[in-house]
Amino acid sequence: MDIYDDIANELSGDGMIIIDGQNVAIIPYSLSLAPATSSLIAEGSISGPEPLLRKLKRSSEIELALENGPVVALRCEGGRNGTRWVKAVRAGLTAQQSRKVGASRSRR
């Protein structure tokens, strides 16, 4: 799915936060699309309980499954009091998925 097809410049809704491969919570997000020439997809904010958002800072792999769209990787840029400023980039393979791909290629 091409994220730039048939959607507005703003993305908002409730998405699933995935931390280190585990679905954690549904949180509201508000993102503005970046130019298609950039590796950055969008930037904006997410909101949620402060204890959950503190976990994001300590986690190595954070993803957001958009309400009606793809899964994107998140980079936290700061924030406080239940809001974090984030940048969304294309989600890559998780460590577990890359091991599966490597194992299937070695069997050939």
Domain assignment present for residue 2? The answer is: no
Contact 106, 33 (CB under 8 A): no
**Which pLDDT score, from 0 to 100, does residue 3 have?**
54
The per-residue pLDDT for range 40-53, each reduced to its tens digit, is: 899 999 999 999 99
Domain assignment present for residue 3? The answer is: no
Q: What is the pTM of this model?
A: 0.73
Domain assignment present for residue 41? The answer is: yes
82: Cα separation from own chain's centroid? 17
The per-residue pLDDT for range 65-105, each reduced to its tens digit, is: 999 888 999 999 888 899 999 999 887 644 343 333 233 33
CA distances from 66 to 7, 39, 53, 91, 103 (A): 13, 18, 17, 12, 30
Residues of 4-17 as b/e, b for ≥16 C-beta within 10 angstroms? eeeeeeebeeebeb
* Enclosing domain of residue 18: 10-106
Domain assignment present for residue 4? The answer is: no
DSSP assigned state of 36: T
Domain assignment present for residue 58? The answer is: yes
Q: How many domains does the chain have?
A: 1
User: Residue 17: which CATH number?
Assistant: 2.30.110
Domain assignment present for residue 65? The answer is: yes
Q: What is the mean pLDDT of the chain?
A: 79
**Which pLDDT score, from 0 to 100, does residue 9 have?**
87
**Which pLDDT score, from 0 to 100, does residue 8 have?**
65
Identity at 105, one-letter amino acid code: R
